[in-house]
Amino acid sequence: MIGYIKGEVVELNGNTLVLENNSIGFEVTVSNSSIVRINQAGRFVKLFTYMHVREDEISLYGFFTREEKDMFLKLITISGVGPKAAISILSGIEIGQLVLAILSNDVKALSKVKGIGKKTAERIILELKESVDAETASLLNSEEIEPKEAEDKDVVDAISALKALGIPHQDAIKAVKSARSQTDKIEEIIAIALRSLG
């Protein structure tokens, strides 16, 4: 299994790029959000990868952050969601919003993503809520979160959403604490926190 590849982006066509490493061009399928980050990073990037092997095909999928790869791996465990569908999902909704939709049982938000019907959205929420909740629960043991904040579901969910976007743990906590003092709405907490992080 190839864990990651560092190299130069020599070609980009839609959601497929060619990443050159040691004179080998790896063809990698990536999400829209990874493309945005790759464009910001420049020609030389590091992509976390997943290799999908079938009888008639070997495909390589790439992710700019480990968090996006982890979410991809969760999505492909769901019946009816293969690697291509998972990339389509990650292209259609920001990972932080996806985590938030799962935690808040927001079928409507997930159903807006191209290729996801209501039944698939319900299945994603049902099957991933426990694992996403478990990750969220791990935040409750953080020394940086006070007992009162740990009981505030909006604070914990907002931190989870920011971490899913690749924001470091302590930065996410600090930004959410500040944003929480300005609003009671979780969407606004996340938006304010993101703005404060630049």
pLDDT digits (tens, 9 = 90+) for 11-57: 999 899 999 999 999 999 999 989 988 888 888 999 999 999 988 88
Q: Where in the chain is the domain with CATH 1.10.150.20?
A: 67-196
pLDDT score, position 79: 87
Q: Give the C-alpha separation, 141 to 121, whole Å.
A: 30
Find the range with the poorest average confidence among 30-39, 114-123, 148-157, 174-183: 148-157
CATH class of 67-196: mainly alpha
Evaluated on CA atoms 102, 90, 76, 4, the torsion sign reads negative
pTM, two decimal places: 0.72
DSSP 8-class letter at 81: -
Cβ atoms of 83 and 50 within 8 Å: the answer is: yes
Give the contacts of 71 (CB within 8 A, at least 6 positions apart).
Answer: 90, 95, 98, 99, 164
The CATH homologous superfamily to which domain 4-64 belongs is: Nucleic acid-binding proteins (2.40.50.140)
The percentage of the chain sitting over the pLDDT mark of 90, rounded to a whole number, equals 37
Q: Where in the chain is the domain with CATH 2.40.50.140?
A: 4-64
Q: Tell me the pLDDT band of 59, cut-offs 50, 70 and 90.
A: very high
